[in-house]
DNA sequence: TACAATCATTATGGTTGTACAACCATCAGG
DNA sequence: CCTGATGGTTGTACAACCATAATGATTGTA
């Protein structure tokens, strides 16, 4: 799996900047600004359903692909998709060339809810927005590079 | 709640660096490097239990305080703590001066598991560790400031 | 055409997370 | 001592999550 974290932080380095940065990012994202509750309230959907909907709204895909992206198994994906379809947020159509596959696509209403979720999740904290322009520029460059660097396993 | 995210990103600014940074951080933390599965497998505990255990291992506290930190209600906290105690990972003792309160403290084995979880969660991705020292230094300074800035509601 | 492989669904069951109401024990103040 | 407030627990109920096994439909291929 990951590198070699088996040793105590104290013995790691005189000053482990990477560790501090990572811990800080995690604290900000998953502790201070966990918006899951807000999103489920705003959309009336459980959070996995929101994740599924956002994936589908980002572009049509098959059940198989959605299951992979949600890191769940097929049967549970079927369950989630059933619910989204029942609510009129997505549509299932058969794949044009392979009739085993179902292509999933968001309806206008589905896209609307996905947008609501996105607005809540992607809204940067005020403290971040208020950063000096120079700092923000560096963050922008470095984080963007990071995201590009460790590609989604594809 | 949060600020005013009601408008479309397009109408927001010619170049919304803060938004890009925040999205990037979220992608890294909750999509590319979500270690929850790894942690539950390594510890044999569900993720809330791990969160509870880590809180307690960080320093003794009452049920009330733990419930607040986990953002759950008292009854569920009791359930979680019961389980951790049954597994010998924590101990309940009565508060020295207020016998209504139970003070929660981690056992050596509990601290061991908490350490395992921490090592997995706090291990920075290789791409971050491999950043140029100058970039890393800036990130370190800015992120640390950010964490200090938007204080935990206390 | 038969056969293995793939995509999805159905059926089923278990665990986990969450909320609410009612309760007991203890404390602090009059 | 009462009495109200606080800290925890019990009991109950339900929704959400996730896995496993079995089935049906379709594909491509030997």
Task: State pLDDT tens for residues B57-106.
Answer: 999 999 999 999 999 999 999 999 999 999 999 999 999 999 999 999 99
Greatest Cα-to-Cα distance within chain A, rounded to the nearest angstrom: 59
CA–CA separation, A34 and A119 (whole Å): 14
Give a yes or no: residue A10 inside a domain: no
B152 band by pLDDT with thresholds 50, 70 and 90? low
Report the domain count for chain B: 1
Transcribe B71-107 into DSSP letters.
T--HHHHHHHHHHHHHTTSEEEEE-SS-TT-EEEEE-
Give a yes or no: residue A19 inside a domain: no
Residue span of the structural domain in which B44 resides? 26-145
Contact (Cβ atoms closer than 8 angstroms) between residue B50 and residue B43? yes
Residues 6+ apart with CB under 8 A from A54: A114, A117, A118
Report which of residues B34 and B11 the model is more confident about. B34
Give a yes or no: residue B131 inside a domain: yes
Residues of chain B found within 8 Å of residue A6, distances taken between Cβ atoms: 119
pLDDT score of A4: 43
Read off the CATH number of the domain in which A86 is found.
1.10.10.10
Query: Which H, E and C letters describe A33-56, residue by residue?
Result: CCCHHHHHHHHCCCHHHHHHHHHH
Question: Does residue B107 approach strand D to less than 7 Å at its CB?
Answer: no
Give me the tens of pLDDT residue by residue for chain A, a chain 154 residues long: 344 444 444 444 557 999 999 999 999 999 999 999 999 999 999 999 999 999 999 999 999 999 999 999 999 999 999 999 999 999 999 999 999 999 999 999 999 999 999 999 999 999 999 999 999 999 999 999 999 987 764 4
Tokens of B124: 């920075």
Question: Does residue B102 approach strand D to less than 7 Å at its CB?
Answer: yes
Give a yes or no: residue A6 inside a domain: no
Of the candidates A24, A121, A136, which has its C-beta nearest B17's C-beta?
A136
Is there a contact between A29 and B27 if contact means CB atoms under 8 Å apart?
no
Residues of chain B found within 8 Å of residue A17, distances taken between Cβ atoms: 136-137, 139-140
Beta-bridge partners for A61: A104
Task: State pLDDT tens for residues A26-71.
Answer: 999 999 999 999 999 999 999 999 999 999 999 999 999 999 999 9
pLDDT score of A1: 38
Give a yes or no: residue B12 inside a domain: no
Question: Does residue B45 approach strand D to less than 7 Å at its CB?
Answer: no
Give a yes or no: residue B9 inside a domain: no
């Amino acid at each position: 799996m990951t590198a070699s974290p088996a040793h105590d932080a104290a013995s790691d380095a005189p000053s482990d900047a990477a560790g501090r940065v990572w811990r800080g990012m995690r604290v900000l994202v998953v502790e201070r600004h966990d918006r899951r509750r807000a999103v489920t309230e705003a959309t009336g959907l459980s959070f996995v359903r929101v994740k599924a909907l956002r994936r589908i709204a980002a572009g049509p895909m098959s059940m198989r692909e959605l299951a992979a992206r949600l890191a769940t198994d097929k049967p549970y994906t079927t369950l989630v998709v059933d619910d989204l379809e029942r609510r009129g947020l997505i549509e299932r159509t058969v794949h044009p060339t392979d009739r085993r596959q179902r292509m999933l696509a968001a309806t206008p209403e589905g896209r609307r809810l996905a947008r609501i979720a996105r607005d809540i999740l992607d809204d940067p904290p005020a403290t971040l927005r208020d950063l000096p322009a120079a700092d923000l520029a560096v963050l922008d460059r470095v984080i963007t590079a990071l995201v590009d660097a460790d590609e989604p396993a594809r």
